[in-house]
């Protein structure tokens, strides 16, 4: 028994070590992106970063302090409205990431030799995407505007997907940046967001995959299907399968989605059913209706 406990503890230690490596690397890259590229070049972004950039000028408060304040505010609101379980998911990043922002603020570092907003917008997207990709890969969340989107959905808009709410929130923040910093900065922020999204997908699933297929076997079948249908906004197919060893019939969920959406689904399944079986398959091309799918008549039109 003690031998098995030792093996389990070693596996847990290895998992925590990998988590720590990914999280620290991700936080360092994200903080470097904001403090050493975005701010020195007068740029803005979506999310909490964009809000802090808007407030930084009028208030004169350090970026890291503003970020800490908003991160903790969201953590408290999340705990009150969504419960301690949801708040526990974001508490680590709420403390750790702003700490790296504070650390980099102590050094006068600018990646670019001279001000170049185009290069800065590109590299902010790249560094930020790698940062988030590493964090998402290990199943963690920053607890930023995605948490705000969860709260809005839970309390006021249950029939609207989180991704759509998040898109509107980030759009409002970017437009606000345009009011305070000028339209060009808002447009550069849009470029950064697009690059950011693509890099996140590349980090998690490589360069080849635009769409992935998830096959899920879980005792929480109804909850999983409900989440995919209404939270993610993707279709679900149910396939009856029979285990050869136990001869037990079960229902398997099949869905097609983007790599980023698949990570959200994976996080949900992991929370609901730790014994679930999830397979992720890269899909080269999908023809049909749906976000990210190719038009069925595309080849014919060409």
pLDDT of residue 191: 92
pLDDT of residue 296: 47
pLDDT of residue 300: 46
pLDDT digits over 51-109, tens only? 999 999 889 899 999 999 999 999 999 889 888 877 887 888 888 999 999 999 998 88
pLDDT of residue 31: 94
pLDDT of residue 57: 85
Q: Read off φ and ψ for residue 209, nearest 5 degrees.
A: -100, 125
pLDDT of residue 287: 66
pLDDT of residue 280: 86
Q: Which domains does the chain have, with CATH numbers?
A: 2-205 (no CATH), 211-301 (3.30.70.120)
CB atoms within 10 A of CB 286: 15
pLDDT less than 70: residues of the chain: 1-8, 205-210, 284-302
pTM, two decimal places: 0.70
């Amino acid at each position: 028994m003690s031998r098995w406990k030792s093996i389990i503890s070693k596996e847990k230690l290895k998992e925590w070590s990998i988590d720590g490596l990914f999280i620290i690397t991700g936080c360092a890259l994200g903080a470097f992106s904001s403090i050493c590229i975005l701010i020195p070049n007068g740029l803005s972004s979506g999310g909490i970063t964009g809000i802090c950039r808007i407030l930084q000028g009028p208030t004169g408060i350090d970026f890291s302090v503003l970020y800490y304040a908003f991160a903790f505010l969201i953590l408290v609101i999340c705990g009150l409205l969504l419960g301690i379980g949801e708040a526990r998911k974001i508490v680590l990043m709420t403390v750790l990431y702003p700490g790296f922002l504070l650390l980099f603020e102590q050094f006068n570092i600018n990646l670019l030799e001279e001000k170049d907003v185009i290069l800065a917008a590109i590299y902010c997207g790249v560094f930020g995407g790698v940062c988030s990709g590493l964090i998402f890969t290990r199943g963690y969340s920053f607890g930023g505007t995605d948490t705000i989107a969860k709260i809005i959905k839970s309390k006021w808009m249950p029939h609207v997907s989180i991704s759509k709410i998040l898109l509107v929130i980030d759009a409002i923040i970017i437009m606000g940046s345009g009011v305070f910093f000028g339209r060009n900065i808002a447009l550069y922020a849009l470029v950064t967001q697009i690059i950011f999204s693509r890099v996140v997908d590349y980090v998690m699933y490589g360069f080849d995959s635009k769409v992935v297929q998830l096959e899920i076997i879980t005792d929480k079948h109804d909850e999983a299907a409900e989440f995919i249908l209404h939270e993610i906004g993707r279709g679900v197919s149910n396939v009856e399968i029979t285990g050869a060893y136990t001869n037990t019939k079960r229902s398997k969920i099949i869905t097609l989605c983007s790599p980023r959406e698949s990570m959200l689904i994976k996080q949900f399944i992991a929370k609901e059913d730790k014994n679930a079986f999830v397979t992720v398959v890269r899909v080269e091309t999908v023809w049909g209706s749906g976000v990210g799918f190719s038009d069925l008549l595309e080849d014919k039109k060409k």
